[in-house]
Structure 1
């Protein structure tokens, strides 16, 4: 198979759910294909007044991590979960894929804040910066 290791970016949005479905379909073709499930916790500079916001972001990231760990356990393929923290989600995703030796990145067409019908800024930046193939999963069933 042309793909040996995939990274899937997940944020809980409908397009990222579709990215997981596509990942499962590709991975099912070969149980030796490794999968890296990634969630990005975007860090913003915040003052002391926003300390409560920081707690909410960490809580949300840990909830998604738990969801991804359950998905990883249910997969036949070797799978690991990573929560990436930083200010540039696209750079974090591309750098993680490089470090992990992935030859495919799968992600949704837009994230939680994206406008339906348009490629999100993170998806666009990943496709622009990635040296490996990027598969963009669109929301909905295209069969």
Structure 2
């Protein structure tokens, strides 16, 4: 099976960097293979209100957020994530003749974001690390397992070698 459009979900972890190295190796076989390195962040499109706690004993009334301001905040968060991804990737992809897209997207969940991106951009392979940096991983379950279970395309889980 030959792949032409590879998605690498990227959370800046060592496992994600390892997955990107594997995807780069696959892409080097054919300069027409396109790589999509995508960071998924989940911010709601527009919260009805933000209930902030000043301290554990006294609630602050919910704040209404201006929709335009919130959109700007989401766009700023995506831009910051893309910049942080670029720093984590460093020079790893330098010299690769393949087309590479590095971007951050907003999604309701990381698993949905990965699957939606793969579907919307015609990706035919997902290469991802076996573990990442997700704060809610323990509560929500493994993102890699969720993608493996629900993706419509092949998923390569890149397990990083044990360090001795």
TM-score by length of 1: 0.77
Q: Find 2:50's aligned residue among 28, 47, 51.
A: 47
The aligned length equals 135
**Structure-2 residue corresponding to 1:117:** none
Tell me the SS of whatever aligns to 1:111.
Answer: coil
**Structure-1 residue corresponding to 2:19:** 19
Equivalent-residue separation in structure 2 for 1:73 and 1:95 (angstroms)? 28
**Structure-1 residue corresponding to 2:63:** none
Structure 2 unaligned runs (5+)?
54-72, 136-140
For the 8 Å contact 1:18–1:140, the answer to whether it is kept is no
- Are residue 129 (structure 1) and residue 132 (structure 2) matched? no
Pair 6,124 (structure 1): closer, same or farther in 2 beyond 3 Å: same
For the 8 Å contact 2:24–2:93, the answer to whether it is kept is no
Q: Find 2:118's aligned residue among 97, 115, 129.
A: 97
**Structure-2 residue corresponding to 1:138:** 159
Tell me how far 1:126 sits from its aligned partner.
0.5
Tell me how far 1:72 sits from its aligned partner.
5.5
* Larger helix fraction of residues: 1
TM-score by length of 2: 0.68
Alignment of 1:27-106 (within 5 A): 27-43=27-43, 47=50, 49=52, 58=77, 61-67=81-87, 74-106=95-127
Larger radius of gyration between Structure 1 and Structure 2: 2
Tell me how far 1:76 sits from its aligned partner.
1.3
For the 8 Å contact 1:69–1:81, the answer to whether it is kept is no
Pair 35,69 (structure 1): closer, same or farther in 2 beyond 3 Å: farther
